[in-house]
Amino acid sequence: MKTVAATITMVAIIAGVATSAPSSKSGESSHTVTQADMDRWKVELSNWGRWGKDDEKGTINLITPQKRKQAADLVRDGVAISLARPANTEKAVDNPQPYENVMLSVRGPASSDRIAVSFHGYAHTHLDALGHHFFDGKLYNGFPRDEHVTMAGGAGKGSIYNVKDGVFTRGILMDIPRLKRVPYLEPGTPIFVEDLEAWEKQARVKVSPGDALFIRTGRWARRAALGPWDVSKMAAGLDASVIPWLRQRDVAVIGSESALSVTPFPPTSQIPGPDDYLPVHNFVLVALGMNVFDNCDLDALAEAAATRKRWEFLLTAAPLPMVKGTGSPINPIALF
């Protein structure tokens, strides 16, 4: 990662970012992403310094008061839809660390229980903090990991506490299985810029600055039909070539039904760097400062949106205000 000063210089160059973005009309060659591309994007597309050298909120800054007012106007029916999976307490190949829910007492007029979870991974719906990933030992905005994120002190910078006021903005669902007229995408299916733009055209909605973008792959529909599989090794998701597009559109927060990136890499992705094992997921967290909703369940949302033929909604979400936390279990809500 280059210095913040270098990054600020580059920000002026990328007013449209389109110079680095693969064209959605140039064929399969536009999907090729090398390590050199990734390393260049970490400088050219970076948001480091954009909101000041001490900023820890990243693209949440794009959710302005005016954006919130516009999002509130999207509520017409008063219908709320959860985007979270039920808290799964059953161990499986895709849930190696299930929720623990233990009753402590049932006495007289009250009961109490204890709930515990290791929420990072590929099973539980959660929101990643910006201190969850690093490039070359640095988290978003250039803060050194070894100084600010430690075993003893937790996440002193980039913690989930920076999102304690919640997320309240326009949400957009991109239902890629519906676009392709299949019940779900097969694991390992990459989603390209042309898919995102085809959905925009079909749904008559365009992603704009400050939006919360959700990518449906049909993971949970496939699991219901065929059973669990190891999602850490094979999952449909965004191809690395979409990274410049996400920066160009100034998405504020993003979510999907696994960890956002397609796994394994398609042949067009030649990215051996150890920091880039989930190229899109890790890039948006570190270079863009964009919080990520992992392991959402978007099936009910997809049905509600299709019924209304409306793919935009008010999105609300509030993480636990853990001062040193690298993320939080979460229950995002879509309101139509």
| Per-residue pLDDT at 7 exceeds 70 | no
- Per-residue pLDDT of 170-221, as tens digits, reads 999 999 999 999 999 999 999 999 999 999 999 999 999 999 999 999 999 9
In order of start, what are the domains of the chain with their CATH numbers? 4-87+118-335 (3.50.30.50)
| Per-residue pLDDT at 326 exceeds 80 | yes
Question: The tokens 């051996």 sit on which residue?
Answer: 272
> pLDDT band at residue 29, thresholds of 50, 70 and 90?
low
What is the per-residue pLDDT for 100?
A: 93
Separation of alpha carbons 101 and 135, rounded Å:
36
**Nearest residue to 149 via CA among 275, 49, 56, 61:** 56
What is the per-residue pLDDT for 248?
A: 98
Q: What is the pTM assigned to this prediction?
A: 0.91
Average pLDDT over residues 79-89: 96
- Per-residue pLDDT of 90-120, as tens digits, reads 999 999 999 999 999 999 899 999 999 999 9
> pLDDT band at residue 30, thresholds of 50, 70 and 90?
confident
Average pLDDT over residues 307-317: 98
What is the per-residue pLDDT for 297?
A: 98
- Per-residue pLDDT of 227-263, as tens digits, reads 999 999 999 999 999 999 999 999 999 999 999 999 9
Residue 309, phi-psi category: left (phi > 0), alpha (psi -120 to 50), beta (remainder): left
- Indicate the average pLDDT of the chain: 92
> pLDDT band at residue 53, thresholds of 50, 70 and 90?
very high
